[in-house]
Amino acid sequence: MQSRREWFKSSIGLGGLIMAPSILTAEEIKKYNPRPVTSIVKLSSNENPYGPSERVRNAIKDSFGDACRYPYEYILELQKSLAKKHNVSPESIVITGGSNEALRVTGLAVADDGGEIVAGQPTYLALMSYAEAWGGKIKWVPVDSNKGYDLGKIEEAIDAKTKMVFIANPNNPTGTLLEKSSLSDFCERASEKTIVFCDEAYYDYIEEPEYPSMDYLVREGKNVIVSRTFSKVYGMAGLRIGYLVLKPDLADKLFGEYSPYGRNKIMAQTNVLAVAAASEALKDKDFYSFSLKKASQEKDKIYKLLDHLDLKYVKSSTNFVFFESQKHIDDLSKEMLDKGVRIGRAFPPFYDWCRISTGTSQEVDKFISAMLEVYS
């Protein structure tokens, strides 16, 4: 294996991606708002290292004068925009304080009904953790050898007690994407037996052409719920705004009847500033494209590093990479933190795997440097 110094020297030639200088112009910095490199680089939470965009920041400033108002009427306008995006009625859109609230309140609604949820493992836990905390039961189905959902076994696990099936696609923490026809067929069949919740937080990062959102099943009146967020590709994690797409009668049942003031079982909704930001973000196609491009570039750099270190990884349809660390995640976390990089937490039962988020070019370069030292 090459020494760290030799690899640094040769890396520019490996497609020009690893360690290649990536310097934004002053205009790009203003438009895309990259976070500054700090002494501890945080690549543990799948945050977009860019944003909010200049257009979104201006929209937030312009909305300050409305901050004395309750958000209801502003939410109604955003509902209409999102309804148009997903080709559903406004009553099918439930706006929440981040998609985490959407997942948690759904978990609470299912648990309150004495429900059992079928879910793959590992996956994003917000819905299941909240359901368990309020008396719900979880039936876990391990991922397959490729770290993807085993839809066959998930379907076999559905029984008379099942109130919901949870699917995160692309999945977190593995980054895997289900084959589109298999997913569609599964959701159509499963939604005849129970509610299917499809967490599409990372949908925008999917590079496969014509990959369908499961919102088409909502339009067909199926018992399917789709969640989306403005935290990832739009770079608005700190503003806390997300939403659900589902048929109105199912929304009435789970979250309270529709009114211009929201549904009475939704706890936080969101705020005027976040609504203004989300409305503008939907129009800012330039920032959207930039975010996707940068995430793809940094993933390629991480892949090449992992290839060099001979560490297995899952090709990702998200803004992070899941790789086999060949050491306990707690040990690797400490070693990397000592070198100024915070990596993802443990995801049982894969204690010798690590999730690393894409950051700015400089942040990923710091990750690469630390990894080369740790694995030298």
- pLDDT tens-place string over residues 190-200: 999 999 999 99
Q: Within this chain, do residues 80 and 11 fall inside the same structural domain, yes or no?
A: no
Q: Taking residues 204-219, what's their average pLDDT?
A: 97
Do residues 61 and 25 share a domain? no
Q: What sections of the chain are H helices per DSSP?
A: 4-11, 26-32, 54-63, 72-86, 99-112, 126-133, 151-157, 180-190, 215-219, 248-255, 272-281, 285-309, 329-338, 361-374
Cis peptide leading into residue 349 (ω within 30°) = yes
Domain end call among 258, 281, 304? 281
Reported as a pLDDT band with limits 50, 70 and 90, residue 236 is: very high
Residues 253 and 324 in one domain: no
Best CA proximity match to 292, nearest among 201, 206, 168? 206
Higher pLDDT, 3 or 277: 277
Q: What is the per-residue pLDDT across 315-351, written as a single tens digit (0 to 9) for each?
A: 999 999 999 999 999 999 999 999 999 999 999 999 9
Query: Residues 31, 105: one domain?
Result: no
Q: What does the DSSP assignment read for 53-67? A: -HHHHHHHHHHGGGT
2: pLDDT strictly greater than 70 = no
The mean per-residue pLDDT over the stretch 271-280 comes to 97
Closest CA to 238 of 209, 198, 273: 273
* 350: DSSP letter: B
Average pLDDT over every residue of 301-317: 97
229 and 367 co-located in one domain: no
Sequence-distant (≥ 6) Cβ neighbours of residue 347 within 8 angstroms: 122, 173, 329, 353, 355
Order of strands, sheet of 313-314, starting from the edge strand that comes earlier in the sequence: 313-314, 320-324, 353-357
Number of domains in the chain: 2
- What domain range is 322 assigned to? 4-50+285-374
> How far, in Å, CA of 27 to CA of 25, rounded?
5
Q: Of 232, 264, 281, which marks where a domain is finished?
A: 281
Q: pLDDT band at residue 261, thresholds of 50, 70 and 90?
A: confident
CA distance 155 to 207: 27
Tell me: pLDDT of 281 over 60.
yes
Examine the domain organization and report whether 73 and 208 are in the same domain: yes
Indicate the range of 21-25, 98-102, 192-196, 236-240 predicted with least confidence. Answer: 21-25
Domain boundary among the residues 232, 262, 281 is at: 281
For residue 40, what are the CA distances in angstroms to 49, 54, 339, 340, 363?
14, 26, 8, 4, 10
Give 244-254 pLDDT, tens digit per residue: 999 999 999 99
Q: Write the pLDDT tens digit of every residue in 67-88.
A: 999 998 899 999 999 999 999 9
- Asked if pLDDT for residue 233 goes beyond 70, the answer is yes
Beta bridge partners of 259: none
Residues 192 and 297 placed together within one structural domain of the fold: no
The yes-or-no verdict on residue 13 having pLDDT over 80 is: no
Task: Note whether 61 and 114 are same-domain residues.
Answer: yes
Confidence tier at 216 by pLDDT (50, 70, 90):
very high
- Domain of 258: which CATH number? 3.40.640.10
3-class secondary-structure state, position 116: strand
Tell me what the pLDDT averaged over the chain comes to. 93
- Residue 1 has what pLDDT? 54
* pLDDT-derived band at 11, boundaries 50, 70, 90: low
* Same domain assignment for residues 334 and 195: no
Looking at the structure, do residues 318 and 246 belong to the same domain, yes or no?
no
Query: Cβ distance 49 to 236 under 8 Å?
Result: no
Q: What is the CATH number of the domain that holds 38?
A: 3.90.1150.10
Reported as a pLDDT band with limits 50, 70 and 90, residue 146 is very high
Are residues 78 and 226 both part of a single domain?
A: yes
Structure confidence at residue 112 (pLDDT):
78
pLDDT in tens, 20-71: 556 899 999 999 999 999 999 999 999 999 999 999 999 999 999 999 999 9
- pLDDT of 12 reads 47
Statement to judge: residues 160 and 122 lie in one domain:
yes
Average of pLDDT values for 94-100? 93
